[in-house]
Amino acid sequence: MTSIRLCLPALTIILVPTVVNAEHIVDAHINAIGGTDNIAKIKTIHRIADVAVDSPFGEFDGPVTENFDIAGNRGSRLIDIGITLIVSGWVGDTGWQTVPQQGIKDMENLQLTMAGINGSASPVATAKAKFGIDGFSEPVEGDFNEKPCIRTSVLDGVLTFCINKETKLLEGMEVKGDAGRSAIITFDDFTESEGVLFAGKMTTNQPERRTKLTITYSETTVNGDLDEDSFKRPN
């Protein structure tokens, strides 16, 4: 009996979980939304939504159309709020977007990177494929929208993923931009399509600009045909 008692403390130490690392939380999230195999099967995404915009210039709403060709590394988003069209898109290493009172302008590097990460089946899985697991910072615990989360960053802290500690779903992302481009993005109402969970609602809050944009999705089509014209840069 004495020898058994002496062994118990050592056994207890072995069984205590180690501190969660980036690979653990990233892979746990990927498994929670459907797994690597199901995510890899998704080549195209077409989504229809409604948007509500709250800005210093007023409140606006309208339809949204998104087309993402993951296999071809291209995508587009068209938001029609009546008084104007908000257009963004990219093909390979070139992207464009609407700039107020300036028309269509080229995306900067961070904007192009974020477009590719957002225009995918999983922002976290895409970041892992792009930067590798070594590109993620060591995870830390911290709330997001009053929910316990684990936070890990890429791009030297420019982009932070907030993963729910219990569900392992992506609660939100924080983007540190310049010239008033910082944003807090919240994901809600996850629904399944082709074995992968997609956020049914995405809210982008830009505090410096006092602007909030809420997109509520009504339709998600995976691996279907996409409108080729949607990937052409507008005049």
Position 83 in a domain: yes
Position 13 in a domain: no
Other CB atoms within a 10 A radius of the CB of residue 134 amount to 7
Position 232 in a domain: no
Position 227 in a domain: no
| CATH code: domain of residue 163 | 2.50.20.10
Position 14 in a domain: no
pLDDT band of residue 3 (cuts 50, 70, 90) is very low
State the pLDDT at residue 180. Answer: 57
Position 145 in a domain: yes
Degrees to nearest 5, angle at CA 132 with 122 and 184: 45
What is the number of structural domains in the chain? 1
**Domain containing 60: what range?**
19-221
Position 181 in a domain: yes
- Per residue in 16-65, pLDDT (tens digit) is 344 479 999 999 999 999 999 999 999 999 999 999 999 998 999 999 99
Position 229 in a domain: no
- Per residue in 129-174, pLDDT (tens digit) is 999 999 999 999 999 999 999 999 999 999 999 999 999 999 999 9
